[in-house]
Amino acid sequence: MTSRFKTSCIAAITLGAAFSMTAGLALAADDNLSADQIVNALQAKPLSRSLSVDNRADPTAQAREDSFINSLRNRQSRSLSLGEREQIADLSATKRKIDFEIQFDYNSAKVRSASLPMVQELGKALSDPALKGSTFVIAGYTDAVGGDSFNQNLSERRADAIKQYLTEKYGIAGSNLVTVGYGKTRLKDPSEPTAPINRRVQVVNLNSQTASK
């Protein structure tokens, strides 16, 4: 790995403008992701041959997944059990996703004005015809500062705030936006538990499969 590549990665992580896709990890040079970039990150890709074979081998797997997703619609994040939150995390691991470092006011679910352009680009992306019919998870995460209960509540309120903004400003159906909070239980960078990169919102397209390579 060259020193130039290392420097670029460090800079991108510091700015918090990384987006993660199931096909791999992509880092942007700044935090001004466009709606087109977000759509590309979340858009479903063709199934690989191995995944197609797996689905044929277990024809009920998709039905179980669809049933679980439908059970999440119109649910409040605070109504989710620990088991449901873990199930969402496991399901999200196989889906197309993107991370945003969205800044909120201190101890608040109010998005800071500096982060509004990012949320607006997200709104444009989720309104794109290419993502029509998809159900999305909006997952909130915090850093490790503070207690478990405090951070869990804060992450849920922040995820709900993003959902409210998207439904009110962009007319996205609330039933297509599932909110969940993970508090400080799933740090993006466990080696730096208080780093800003851990204070993030992740959006997952539940209707996408693992991208083929």
Q: Which residue has the tokens 């509004």?
A: 116
Predicted pLDDT of residue 69? 93
Sequence-distant (≥ 6) Cβ neighbours of residue 2 within 8 angstroms: none
Q: Is 145 helix (H, G, I), strand (E, B) or coil?
A: coil
pLDDT tens string, the chain, 213 residues long: the values are: 544 444 333 333 223 333 333 332 333 334 578 999 999 999 987 655 454 445 455 678 888 998 999 999 988 898 999 999 999 999 999 899 999 888 888 778 889 898 999 999 999 999 999 999 899 999 999 999 999 999 999 999 999 999 999 999 999 999 999 999 999 999 999 999 998 888 889 999 998 754 333
Q: Is 63 helix (H, G, I), strand (E, B) or coil?
A: helix
Predicted pLDDT of residue 167? 96
State if pTM tops 0.85: no
Neighbour-count burial of 200, counting CB atoms closer than 10 A to its CB (0-12 exposed, 13-18 middle, 19+ buried): buried
Amino acid occupying residue 2 = T
Structure tokens at 196: 């800003």
Rounded Cα distance between 86 and 80, Å, is: 10
**Residue 20 near residue 40 (C-beta atoms within 8 A):** no
Predicted pLDDT of residue 48? 54
User: Which of these, 35, 186, 13, lies nearest to 101 by C-alpha position?
Assistant: 13
Predicted pLDDT of residue 102? 87
Rounded Cα distance between 195 and 101, Å, is: 11
Residues written for the chain = 213
Predicted pLDDT of residue 212? 36
Structural domains in the chain, CATH included, are: 3-205 (3.30.1330.60)
Q: What are phi and psi of 152, to 5 degrees?
A: -60, -45
